[in-house]
Structure 1
Amino acid sequence: MKLRVSGAALLMLSAMALPASANDDVLKQTSDSNQWAKPEGNYAATRYSPLNQITTENVGQLKVAWTFSTGVLRGHEGSPLVVGNVMYLTTPFPNNVIALDLNDEQKILWQYSPKQDPSVVPVMCCDTVNLGVSYAEGKIFLYQADTAVVAIDAKTGKELWKSVNGDPKKGETGTAAPIIIKDKVIVGISGAEFGVRGHVTAYDINTGKRVWRAYNLGPDNEMLFDPEKTTSLGKPVGKDSSLKTWNGDQWKIGGGTVWGWFSYDPEADLFYYGSANPSTWNPAQRAGPDGKPIDQKWTMAIIARNPDTGVAKWAYQMTPFDEWDYDGVNENILADIDIDGKKVPALVHFDRNGFAYTLNRKDGELLVAQHFDPAVNWATGVDLDKSSPNYGRPIRVKKYSTFANGPDFNTKGVCPAALGTKDRQPASYSELTGLFYVPTNHVCMDYEPFKVSYTAGQPYVGATLSMFAGPDKPEHMGNFIAWDAAKGKIIWSKPEQFSVWSGALTTAGGIAFYGTLEGYFKAVDQKDGKELFKFKTPSGIIGNAMTYIHEGKQYVAVYSGVGGWAGIGLAAGLTNPNDGLGAVGGYAGLKQYTNLGGSLTVFSLP
């Protein structure tokens, strides 16, 4: 198989030719490489920049240009935006938004400080994080922890409208970044660990009025699935495709939430996202009436929808009848790649379950599925035989099933752990190499389910976990890898002591940037992973690197502020090894290397 670069550049060119199928201003702002006008960099979510002042030859000379304290602790995910000469920062709860004037020594132009009930914090699953704000048509769009979707005047910081998307008293929260498509702001909902039923919702960009809502599980009319036209692996999903795969009315508290990233193909006029785990984590409580596994669609799935109507065109489920909390929420990167000499409009997804999937983004055809960490053991592969009744399904290993051994049995040595071979720290696609650069976790777990009852607003988990480094290389818990999505192959892998919980950035200078949990910001050569630069920031990095030009000079920036699921022990002061849904014990060593913080560090050449 041969891989040839086409990728996001062609996707964006096609998008520019179809302004009616996108938001004109988003296309305009993201096509200006001097800016970083979208959390993912562009609609294709490639996190690639054509900027090339900083190269493999001079990146070792980077110096700190300036820093800024956000004034908030806990985990700092996401990244700032730069639109024109203004930088927009977002913090963890209480989700302050800060505008800085890059022309005036980063003077604070305004700060928007939401008034949120602090009772939302205890129902935020894995730290009080936020993936960032979005920009369009002179407005900043914030999705708050309490599920309020807010439009803010980008010049003044004045609130223009606010709409409530959920109810924290039921465990519903908001942590993701909105996507702006045409005249709509689209957001998901968090809270599968509280039995929240997942959905995506579109709001009018000018008024905040709800336009449509699409659930991921339940009746066809509520999911906006057409039994004959919505397909999965090339076949119509059929009537009641979700209801048939649930026991009774469990779907009503079934999870499948949406707390990851969105991407959008203007030519196909489809947006893409992933759905999360089914509730509870105890698979025995979700078995069918005959006591056998049932799929629980459409949790753990990639779904492609029309942004005007919300109607689904296709869906693909990565982990039917999940037994390990392998949420499918990770980003879906859009790039045109060559597979066996044929250019394919691809969607590439690095799933929590440890498999990287390459699909045709137009129709959902599954092209490649291979594990992207050698430690993955819960399944030996994915059935790619189109004539097989199990086409597209994982080939499971009974030894690592948390269901087959019965409730209250501690299944040991499952790889990856529940936080996945990769969580929502985003990968990047480089147009220089045609490869994907992926932050990963090399972490396994012991998993013991137990019976749990549902109460609205209370945890609905039903499993005790402990996490630890993969047994083959216990000296490290993460890798930063280069991935060939046509071959399903790791090209090179750079080990790290802890999980790489920072989002990647690639540039035309031949560099891949990322951060580490202990606080190092690093630059490596895209060709071979050779480390070219590192700098210890004030706190562990779970933010995503970004780059921009100001007054003719290229800058690279990243948040530091340890937290997120991997850093929840430090962020929330937890010490019991099984706390933090099993992460505290696995990452106990972090406290020897870093501490809480909340700052932005900006680098440039001298």
Structure 2
Amino acid sequence: MKRNVSNVKVSAAIGGLFMLAAVQTAFADADLDKRVQDPNQWATQTGGYNSQHNSSLNQINKGNVKNLKAAWSFSTGVLHGHEGAPLVIGDMMYIHSAFPNNTYAVNLNDPNKIVWSHKPKQDASTKAVMCCDIVDRGVAYGAGQIVKKQADGHLLALDAKSGKVNWKVELCDPKVGMTFTQAPYVVKDTVLIGCSGAELGVRGAVNAVDLKTGELKWRAYATGPDSDIRLQKDFNSANPHYGQFGLGTKTWEGDAWKIGGGTNWGWYAYDPKLNLFYYGSGNPAPWNETMRPGDNKWTMTIWGRDVDTGEAKWGYQKTPHDEWDFAGVNQMMLTDQPVNGKMTPLLTHLDRNGIMYTLNRNTGELILADKVDPAVNVFKKVDLKTGLPVRDPEFSTRMDHKGTNICPSAMGFHNQGVDSYDPESRTLYAGLNHICMDWEPFMLPYRAGQFFVGATLAMYPGPSGPTKTEMGTVRAFDTVTGKVKWSKWEKFSAWGGTLYTKGGLVWYATLDGQLKALDNANGKELWKFKMPSGGIGSPMTYAFKGKQYVGSMFGVGGWPGVGLVFDLTDPSAGLGAVGAFKELQHYTNMGGGLMVFSL
């Protein structure tokens, strides 16, 4: 990762960029707050409100991980991609599946028995408007309830003890291409969630629902009038050069913003002191940039919003007028650290565009922006003063032109996986893709409920791997110097991200079905286990009755697995994924479930 000379002083001043804050502020939901801070439980998909996806459990460590064995397993009875992870609340574990979004409760005293299950009945036609497999990124917990969604646009709260439905509300309409794939996110007395569907011209929004009643509290769009986007009166006042008012319509041609994408289906983070939550709005629609001139605000934007009102304090658009489908909904990681001698609230985000950003999460000020891989060629650099990427026109896309050797591909060098951080060594462990592409756009009309893409893609391994055939890597970044400490290359993408545990281990699942543990100091592989199907979820850990466990979902699928799960052979199918991952069928098969390991 190359670092501009001007960044070095800032980086050194930051010191321990990601050191976990020693003092935590209490949250409104005291029950959830207690569980989030208890390492024996796994109460959120991202491992905590700061989204660092790590654990202080260290019973399993470098010295004994070789003795790790399968403790128990669970089949969801559902095929296709299983993203996300189960939750552990007290002595209960809650497991989810891909469509039809079944949920199972298991008591850890006897994981052989299902305490309750919730199996919704959904119209099968919903699957036809789900982009890139029929995945489910998990459930949430709050106020004694398991909060889940259905792909057909319904959000539900189930009593955690009995599975009884407490409330149910419809927020998305599959008839126009809106579906739910995102894990709900509970903050205070609010559930946050967004509808997927940018590839069908869905106008993106984040919804805030009352945790106890299911009533919609507010909705904030990514495009349109300022009142719809919910901008504070002093929006971006600290960084007016990012843009402020009226741009949600002015940066679009005509009414194109109404079908302009910007959906959010990734991960949220929350700062209780600032009462702000953070997330990314995704790609504009259609992919064909010729059909939507302008910067297309506020797609491709990192947002800082007030949880109670939904009003945006700031927004930073990473890729104005995105022409490569770099949907920027990836994980937001929060830390408090000194910058130039002053304690500063920070946010770090590895974007699909191949840039790792660090911002002041109070003001949105851009502090660092560096490439995660030298193969990134769409941008020469990011100008820290303007916040704008400096494009390389050779790798732009336009009508009547086939772009070649564009890096990264539309899958990004980082996608939906949840990555981890070690606060002691100040190291970020990232599961990355290493895929480039050819891109040829075409014109198409918008029809509600139909795919609205306008580009044909071919994808293939990037140039940086040791044999030029590798499509993924797990990479350790020193957050002080910005240098890569080590890289562990994989044949296929490291799609699900990583987990760090204090025993000095970095965990991740592979598309071909291996769950692996690496030495955090050097990336050496210390242990692996072949699961029944490929892994695209995020490993998790918990402790029960004094014993530490590590769990991982299995179930190949997601965007890289669409060819396998839908039996597709056209290399351009699956938005280019079929050709890229054509060999995956020789390494794994469909499945769906959970593996749990212990010493």
Contact 1:432/1:510 (<8 A) preserved = no
- Residues 429-474 of structure 1 show CA distances to partners (whole Å, capped at 9, x for unaligned) of 1122111110000100000000010000000000000100013432
CA shift, 1:540, in A, is 0.7
Matches within 5 A, 1:150-229: 150-226=156-232, 228-229=234-235
Match for residue 558 of structure 1?
Answer: 552
CA shift, 1:484, in A, is 2.9
Aligned mate of 1:456, from 448, 452, 455:
448
Pair 1:394-2:405 in alignment: no
Aligned mate of 1:488, from 482, 486, 502:
482
Secondary structure at 1:10's aligned position in 2?
A: coil
- Residues 283-338 of structure 1 show CA distances to partners (whole Å, capped at 9, x for unaligned) of 01112xxxxxx211110010110010000011001100001000010010101244
CA shift, 1:232, in A, is 6.8
Aligned mate of 2:25, from 2, 11, 15:
15
- Residues 470-522 of structure 1 show CA distances to partners (whole Å, capped at 9, x for unaligned) of 13432211110011334433222111111111221101111110011111111
CA shift, 1:7, in A, is 4.4
Matches within 5 A, 1:299-448: 299-339=299-339, 342-384=342-384, 386=385, 391-403=386-398, 407-448=399-440
* Amino acid across the alignment from 2:443: K
**Whole-Å separation in 2 of the counterparts to 1:574 and 1:361:** 43
Secondary structure at 1:451's aligned position in 2?
A: coil
**Whole-Å separation in 2 of the counterparts to 1:539 and 1:148:** 29
Pair 1:265-2:271 in alignment: yes
Match for residue 496 of structure 2?
Answer: 502
Secondary structure at 1:567's aligned position in 2?
A: helix
Task: Output the aligned Cα RMSD.
Answer: 1.5
Change in CA separation of 1:601 and 1:240 when aligned onto 2, cut-off 3 Å: same
Change in CA separation of 1:237 and 1:395 when aligned onto 2, cut-off 3 Å: closer
- Residues 573-603 of structure 1 show CA distances to partners (whole Å, capped at 9, x for unaligned) of 1111100011100000111111111121111
Pair 1:71-2:58 in alignment: no
Pair 1:249-2:255 in alignment: yes
**Whole-Å separation in 1 of the counterparts to 2:223 and 2:323:** 18
| Structure 1 unaligned regions, length at least 5 | 288-293
* Amino acid across the alignment from 1:416: P
**Whole-Å separation in 2 of the counterparts to 1:586 and 1:231:** 44
CA shift, 1:341, in A, is 5.2
Matches within 5 A, 1:557-596: 557-596=551-590
CA shift, 1:60, in A, is 1.5
TM-score for both structures, normalised by structure 2: 0.96
Matches within 5 A, 1:112-127: 112-127=118-133
CA shift, 1:226, in A, is 2.9
Contact 2:16/2:480 (<8 A) preserved = no
Secondary structure at 1:582's aligned position in 2?
A: helix
CA shift, 1:133, in A, is 0.4
Change in CA separation of 1:420 and 1:231 when aligned onto 2, cut-off 3 Å: farther
* Amino acid across the alignment from 2:77: G
Change in CA separation of 1:175 and 1:433 when aligned onto 2, cut-off 3 Å: same
CA shift, 1:85, in A, is 0.6
Secondary structure at 2:560's aligned position in 1?
A: coil
* Amino acid across the alignment from 1:254: G
| Structure 2 unaligned regions, length at least 5 | 1-10
**Whole-Å separation in 2 of the counterparts to 1:62 and 1:281:** 45
Contact 2:106/2:113 (<8 A) preserved = yes
**Whole-Å separation in 1 of the counterparts to 2:50 and 2:272:** 9
* Amino acid across the alignment from 1:411: G
Match for residue 291 of structure 1?
Answer: none
Match for residue 40 of structure 1?
Answer: 46
Match for residue 547 of structure 1?
Answer: 541
Change in CA separation of 1:491 and 1:342 when aligned onto 2, cut-off 3 Å: farther
Change in CA separation of 1:486 and 1:220 when aligned onto 2, cut-off 3 Å: farther
Match for residue 88 of structure 2?
Answer: 82
Match for residue 5 of structure 2?
Answer: none
Q: Which shifted more, 338-347 or 155-164? A: 338-347
Change in CA separation of 1:465 and 1:550 when aligned onto 2, cut-off 3 Å: same
**Whole-Å separation in 2 of the counterparts to 1:342 and 1:497:** 43
Over the matched positions of the two proteins, sequence identity in percent amounts to 50
Paired residues, number: 586
Q: Which shifted more, 234-243 or 108-117? A: 234-243
Contact 2:19/2:424 (<8 A) preserved = no
- Residues 28-71 of structure 1 show CA distances to partners (whole Å, capped at 9, x for unaligned) of 11111100011111111111101010111111111111111111
**Whole-Å separation in 2 of the counterparts to 1:236 and 1:352:** 20
CA shift, 1:90, in A, is 0.4
Secondary structure at 1:591's aligned position in 2?
A: helix
Change in CA separation of 1:231 and 1:149 when aligned onto 2, cut-off 3 Å: farther
Contact 1:195/1:254 (<8 A) preserved = yes
Change in CA separation of 1:8 and 1:38 when aligned onto 2, cut-off 3 Å: farther
Change in CA separation of 1:381 and 1:550 when aligned onto 2, cut-off 3 Å: same
**Whole-Å separation in 2 of the counterparts to 1:491 and 1:439:** 14
**Whole-Å separation in 2 of the counterparts to 1:194 and 1:91:** 24
